[in-house]
Amino acid sequence: KQEVTQIPAALSVPEGENLVLNCSFTDSAIYNLQWFRQDPGKGLTSLLLIQSSQREQTSGRLNASLDKSSGRSTLYIAASQPGDSATYLCAHSGAGSYQLTFGKGTKLSVIP
């Protein structure tokens, strides 16, 4: 059974700090890895998608890396802001498949 683990489950940081969220997975044959943001009671917003041939993607203050050999991905958030407070989910799809396997997420709180 494929599993996705996110550590820590919750994280609280002061505004302005740089932080790293971790995601590990057991399936070495992943196709895509995506990072999502979910605000309370809301749907998912896609932040970054890394295809299996890529090692990282960047968007603004966000940078996501992928190391398939170790089964890990990290989401780096620079200069965190209170508006970054949300739950961050990582998920991956298998080769040739649309299906996503999700982690339980990391709940981030950025304190002003």
Partner 1 sequence: GAVVSQHPSRVICKSGTSVKIECRSLDFQATTMFWYRQFPKQSLMLMATSNEGSKATYEQGVEKDKFLINHASLTLSTLTVTSAHPEDSSFYICSASLHEHSSYEQYFGPGTRLTVT
Phi, psi at 12, each rounded to 5°:
-125, 125
- Rounded to whole angstroms, the Cα distance separating 30 from 109 reads 30
Pick 19 or 44: Cβ nearer partner 1:
44
Pick 13 or 94: Cβ nearer partner 1:
94
For 77, the enclosing helix (H) or strand (E) is strand 72-77
34 binds partner 1 (CB under 8 A): yes
What are 20's two structure tokens?
A: 């790293």
62 binds partner 1 (CB under 8 A): no
Per CB under 8 A, residues contacting partner 1 are: 4, 31-32, 34, 36, 41-46, 49, 51, 89, 91, 93, 97-100, 102-105
